[in-house]
Structure 1
């Protein structure tokens, strides 16, 4: 029996930018948390109002890679706590049964498995975990490029609540079957989450067109292991690069957002992910409240009495 469909929220950073909130590189979404936290609360409220079952804290950029060593040392824990407070307050204000996923981001930069340093990981992860612990209904290690970093975060996070691991896929050099940005295969991701007794395996911050294959491979591997682990997807809306065009390095600029991913178009992709075995679906960079509203309406139609 498939799990009921859960709807995540959409992207935070690009939604802040769209609303005119403070937003710049290298701080990304952390800048609004520092300068205009009310804007972060507004985005949380928008996703709750449009039907998200789970919202994610705005802690993704609270790492030295984005806010710098000095600000991280002096403000990292405080900002992580604020990110948790804002999300939980938005839930309380809504009166809805919405859960808060505490974001545990790539500690050394997005899409950079080569920068992972296991020895330095605890010093960066601990302030984020400690700051968000009072507010987290679950931990979401997201946009992870390698299994090694997921293992490190899982070892540090308290095990008194669910732990979800979400990997980003190599969409610059897509392979069949898909692979992580570290070069590891989907089977490696599945084996890792099973070994850790994690509660969900997801794929995020990659082009939506490669997600169905990843879900299908993961579902087959989970079925072979007799696992009922939840599977999820939340894709980004970044434009694909031409074969002769290099992707922008993180912090060097902003990738363009696609204009063809309307709520209806994204919903059609999501329905394919559901058919492939996904039961948690949301959006990443460039996917906004209007997309989540379409997903939530579809979820509600799934649960109507037949």
Structure 2
């Protein structure tokens, strides 16, 4: 998978990721803020809303859609939904099933005979997302945890997503260097599974816990199963500097994965706020990231289907996704 990803780089046809799933769900009128399970609760209460959100991104040109499992965990479902362990596992796996149902519908209705079937990435968020105390933005929780404890936490989630048939795993918004190391080690227990590792970053050089982004890239290079390493849910303005800081370190068998947020800032009392100085957009900066070696490009919070449609047109024009999708076959 990784070697084919690198082999086809010359055609400059990246894989287009989707945007913020929660953003699209909220656009449907669904209230998510404050829920410790966030969009994962809908796996039980409103699975059709998840299907429709996935479908919206597929229609907008996404080559990869990501499951509604970022904040999903077996302990989380047991605690907040009062379900059995078996039911919790089924709910986790349903995230993949719903995404694949949306892909099947899209392929059937679009009749795109030349387009490769879009891929499903099983989302795995940081341990801090389960804690629901803001620590997912700092990674502070990892200071008091051993790598083995973090591996034990993530093992059931990865196992469920892999068993459900996810095309690859998306380790997303990881704020801690220790957690990144745990995930890379844990991935070896699933030898037939490919993944990407995406870090959350506090500035143009460091991930959220203050560790250099370069250290995270070095850890990623230890894995033969990672197809990409990069950043998500940071301001688009930080991406170029982050990739530059580690450009010489990136393994030739990997690419960058980049899917920042809109550049707006989150305030716990007022919600999303536009900064005093507007950030450059994903659309404006995406060609720079492509030149730096990013071939998985999309968006995170506040990026909806309309943005993804513009991004696809901007980066791929009228070309089909067949060539780029082959890279992850």
TM superposition score category, shorter chain reference: 0.7 to 0.9
The separation in 1 between residues aligned to 2:89 and 2:178, in whole angstroms, is 24
Encode CA deviations 1:84-130: one digit per residue, 9 max, x unaligned.
Answer: 11011111111251011111110233224111333433443233223
1:233 maps to which of 258, 265, 271: 258
What TM-score do the two structures reach when normalised by structure 2? Answer: 0.78
1:107 maps to which of 94, 117, 127: 127
**Structure-2 residue corresponding to 1:219:** 247
* 1:193 to partner: Cα distance: 0.8
The separation in 2 between residues aligned to 1:77 and 1:283, in whole angstroms, is 28
RMSD of aligned Cα (Å): 2.9
Assess, with a 3 A threshold, how the Cα gap between structure 1 residues 102 and 61 changes in structure 2: closer, same or farther. same
**Structure-2 residue corresponding to 1:162:** 194
The separation in 2 between residues aligned to 1:269 and 1:151, in whole angstroms, is 29
The separation in 2 between residues aligned to 1:265 and 1:22, in whole angstroms, is 26
Between 202-211 and 103-112, the greater mean CA deviation after superposition = 103-112
- 1:188 matched to 2:215: yes
The separation in 2 between residues aligned to 1:290 and 1:123, in whole angstroms, is 39
Q: Report if aligned partners of 1:59, 1:104 keep a CA contact under 8 Å in 2.
A: yes
Q: Where do 5+ consecutive residues of structure 2 fail to align?
A: 1-8, 108-115, 130-135, 321-329
The separation in 1 between residues aligned to 2:40 and 2:222, in whole angstroms, is 33
What TM-score do the two structures reach when normalised by structure 1? Answer: 0.83
Assess, with a 3 A threshold, how the Cα gap between structure 1 residues 228 and 216 changes in structure 2: closer, same or farther. farther
The separation in 2 between residues aligned to 1:19 and 1:70, in whole angstroms, is 23
Encode CA deviations 1:254-290: one digit per residue, 9 max, x unaligned.
Answer: 7315499x9x943112223223332211000110000
Q: Report if aligned partners of 2:265, 2:273 keep a CA contact under 8 Å in 1.
A: no
- 1:61 matched to 2:71: yes
Assess, with a 3 A threshold, how the Cα gap between structure 1 residues 40 and 288 changes in structure 2: closer, same or farther. same
SS at match of 1:159: coil
2:22 maps to which of 7, 13, 26: 13
1:210 maps to which of 228, 238, 243: 238
Aligned pair count? 286
Q: Report if aligned partners of 1:77, 1:130 keep a CA contact under 8 Å in 2.
A: no
1:153 maps to which of 153, 167, 183: 183
SS at match of 2:256: strand
Structure having the higher helix fraction is 2
* 1:159 to partner: Cα distance: 2.2
- 1:130 matched to 2:159: yes
Encode CA deviations 1:124-175: one digit per residue, 9 max, x unaligned.
Answer: 32332232222210111110012321232233341213221001111xxx3x
SS at match of 1:192: helix
